[in-house]
Chain A
Amino acid sequence: MKAAFQIPWVRALLALALVFAIGCLCNAHGAFFHWSTHRDMLRQVSVYGILACGMTLVVVSGGIDLAVGSVLGLSAVIFSTATLHHGLPAFLAVALTLGAGAAAGLASGTLVSRLRVQPFIATLALMVFARGLAKALSGGQKISRVIQQPDGSFSYVDLPTVFARLDARVLGGNVAAVSLVFLACVLVSWVVLSRLRYGRYLYATGGNEDAARLSGVPVVRAKLLAYGLCGVFAAVAGICQAAQEEQGDPEAGTGYELTAIAIVVIGGTSLAGGRGGVGLTLIGAITIGYLEKILSINAVPEASRLMLTGAIIVAAVLLQRRKP
């Protein structure tokens, strides 16, 4: 029993079970037992979850990425502008947005790995910069179907089908498309961390950077990969967000980086680096998702909801803490 409690994912599931039990108790007159509650939970947590996948890669490598929320907003703006204003085909717009996300991630990665700026500072700077860039590109306006002409009149463009597809429900209307994107991101991160040589490089770099470097691990390239992929995932999240909102909001994703970090930590991936994995992050995302859902179906007021979320995150992390 005690040995099982040492296994990280057992503890992560324990935290999830705890939250689930709270849901069963505070079921809001049975609303918690409706299938739609669980389906919506997964849809609502998907964008955060996608960010958390990239965050997991960075955290395993011993860093942190505060820029993901801003990169999400920047990507939403780029994707909307490309499709709605310039009429680019969907695949081109997606490629362009993912490229922008990768560039943002590589910028953080370069600062952290080559120029040895502390991850917190480097990504904080990029967080501010990317938000500014999003506002500059959009002129501070939401990019939507409504386009103001130079003469002051308004025209409307049709929403490209890619928006509808990403906002749709598939598998008989049971699972949201964004949830599938989230699960695909989990899969990609899992392959990188557990099946690729570079995944091992990430764990070694986060676990003991000196030992890794002296064993010939390309520490700089490993970090570049982690931050680069994290940027790509943030771009994916930005596209999903734009599709759900049917517009590109330059303010989108504000504060999301904190939720993404909370998901990673609740899953049990250590912020010290070198331990954890994306499977834990999936459990963490579902835990946070249920938490939010339980609070909303019970109509807990916003103020109490925030305070409760804070308290429950602390409780979950204390539960996760391994003995020194």
Chain B
Amino acid sequence: MPEPLLRFARVGKSFGGVRALDDVSFDVLAGEVHVLAGENGAGKSTLIKILAGVHPGFDGEMTLQGKPLRPASPDDARRSGISVIHQELSLVDSMSVSDNIHLGRESRRLGGWWLDRPAQVARSAELCRQLNLELSEADMARPVEAFSLSVKNRIEIAKALAFEARVIVMDEPTSALDRPEVDKLFTLVAALRARGCAVIYITHKMEEIARVADRITVLRDGKWVGTAPAGECPERRLIQWMVGRDLSEQFPPPGEGRAGGTAAPALETRGLGVRDPDPSRRNAVGGVSLRVAPGEILGIAGLQGSGAAELFQGLFGSRGACCTGEVTLGGVPFHPKNPRDSIGRGLAHLTADRKATGLVLGMSVGANVSLASLPGVSPMGLLRRGIERSRARHWAGALGIRLASIEQPVGTLSGGNQQKVVLAKWLCTGPRVLLLEDPTRGVDVGAKREIYSLMRAWTGQGMAILLISSELPELLGLSDRILVLHRGSVSAEFTRAEATQEKVLAAAMGSQ
């Protein structure tokens, strides 16, 4: 066994009492591609952030080539030889290729004040040649925004090499790439391996694991589950490792007589496609047909980049009219235009990130609750605070929101209560179809259970729910049916009885 390049020894990290990562130990060798696998929330990102110096305070220790490694900042980590290539690339779009490659490590003259551009360009061109990037010397001076995403991806790798990185972390690098571009990336990964770099590769796709992995480490619920050479780790074992937990949360029993076949569907799509706003990317969703009956909860399973979130955005018109194909709402043809129009037609969309897109944090609880249904509390355009307050109080009571006053800023509530405020906002609009994206994110166990039983109560009144959840047990426990998306199209459909975590996860990772 060669001396490991990078070693994690009992690494752990807590966030406000929540143990995100616990006692993780494994080795990464020079010249290997080490796949890091696990469900959403398994602790992969936390581990990578510790490695990248984003979370300087952590338990346990890391060693790089036998020397202790304790990066205090991203810059520090980079200087130690660790480069992380994030899903959202960290290139400055308006700057040239060579400036980007050298960002933070400029070639300087005259005591460090004078930027030596020609030297940078020459060095960048040399790096690109080594990586078989089809970029000429003239391209080095062009801004990065002129290139496609896949070229940007590889420019980022060139940047890592410019820093003489010994450990390169790739966080789902293929999520927005086409197949030929993925092939190019894999050639590059092979080249990095040949140079003796260690590549830590995070992916949700079985096919990629089979193609690139030398060894695989699986994390689950913040704990290390196992590390094995790729040859000794068949797909089935891998999925068992990733899932292996029981349904700890309690889910309310499904309602009665909701076959979905007889009643007119609340929402139906035929061949629905959603364009990506960036035309250089492929369609986020292509050819999805689904139907959901009143009173039914349809789960949409899919890992990151599956197109599940974009499906919701397309249906709700969040990014304007960007849908192709047919949609009917309660049997009536529907062309998603904008959120305002969709709300008027009985659609509601609870987004995953409540701080960025759900709440106006500076406004009061009452104002947030009424935000999506303001015409109802302001006849003739005149805001009636009395109506607003009594409505907000009603929903605060119905959802069990714990607060001091309706007038208190929503930002002062706990996460679970904030989430209930967002739910209240959407229920105020009287929706017939509710699109829920991670409705219990950042919510404690007690509040989760309350939200689950509320969802059942609403479907009992004939509401239809489409549910995305990054937690598989939640999806399995709540859904009447589950549709699995992989790379923007439906890869499997399960009834409640058929669905198991193993089957759903296998379909979400695109295994046949």
A196 CB contact (under 8 Å) in B342, B349, B361, B378: B378
Q: Which of B172-180, B327-335, B369-377, B498-506 contacts A (4 or more CB under 8 A)?
A: B369-377
Interface centre among A198, A203, A211 (most CB of B within 10 A): A211
B283 within 8 A of A: no
A196: chain B residues within 8 A (beta carbon) = 378, 381-383
B382: chain A residues within 8 A (beta carbon) = 195-197
B367 within 8 A of A: yes
B138 within 8 A of A: no
B19 within 8 A of A: no
Q: Is A211 in contact with B367, judged by CB distance below 8 angstroms?
A: no
Residue of B nearest to A194 (CB): B383
Q: Is B383 in contact with A200, judged by CB distance below 8 angstroms?
A: yes
Interface centre among A194, A197, A216 (most CB of B within 10 A): A216
B202 within 8 A of A: no
Interface residues in B, total, Cβ within 8 A: 30
Q: Is B339 in contact with A216, judged by CB distance below 8 angstroms?
A: yes
Q: Is B381 in contact with A274, judged by CB distance below 8 angstroms?
A: no
Query: Which residues of chain B in 46-98 are interfacial with respect to chain A, using CB atoms and an 8 Å cutoff?
Result: none
Q: Contacts A196-B382, A216-B340; is A211 near B362 (CB within 8 Å)?
A: no
B372: chain A residues within 8 A (beta carbon) = 215-216
B358 within 8 A of A: yes
Q: Is A275 in contact with B349, judged by CB distance below 8 angstroms?
A: no
A206 shortest CB reach to chain B, Å: 9
Q: Contacts A203-B363, A207-B363, A217-B371; is A195 near B358 (CB within 8 Å)?
A: no
Interface residues in A, total, Cβ within 8 A: 23
Q: Is B363 in contact with A204, judged by CB distance below 8 angstroms?
A: yes
Q: Is A213 in contact with B339, judged by CB distance below 8 angstroms?
A: yes
Residue of B nearest to A207 (CB): B360
Q: Contacts A214-B339, A215-B339, A215-B425; is A200 near B357 (CB within 8 Å)?
A: no
A163: chain B residues within 8 A (beta carbon) = none
Q: Is B361 in contact with A207, judged by CB distance below 8 angstroms?
A: yes
Q: Contacts A196-B382, A196-B383, A197-B378; is A211 near B360 (CB within 8 Å)?
A: yes
**Secondary structure call for the A interface:** helix
Q: Is B362 in contact with A207, judged by CB distance below 8 angstroms?
A: yes
Residue of A nearest to B360 (CB): A207
B479 shortest CB reach to chain A, Å: 24
B300 within 8 A of A: no
Q: Is B360 in contact with A212, judged by CB distance below 8 angstroms?
A: yes
Alpha-carbon gap, A214 to B342, bound state (A): 10
A201 within 8 A of B: yes
28 contacts between A and B (CB under 8 A): A196-B383, A197-B374, A197-B375, A197-B378, A198-B381, A199-B383, A200-B370, A200-B371, A203-B362, A204-B363, A208-B360, A208-B361, A210-B357, A211-B356, A211-B358, A211-B360, A211-B371, A213-B339, A214-B316, A214-B339, A214-B351, A214-B358, A215-B343, A215-B425, A216-B340, A217-B340, A217-B371, A274-B362
Q: Which 9 A-B pairs have the closest CB atoms?
A: A197-B378, A207-B360, A216-B340, A215-B372, A216-B343, A208-B360, A215-B371, A207-B362, A274-B362
**Chain A residues in contact with chain B, CB under 8 A?**
194-201, 203-204, 207-208, 210-218, 274-275
Can you name 12 extra interface pairs (CB under 8 A) apart from A210-B356, A211-B371, A217-B371? Answer: A196-B378, A197-B375, A197-B382, A200-B383, A208-B359, A211-B359, A212-B360, A214-B339, A215-B372, A216-B342, A216-B344, A274-B362
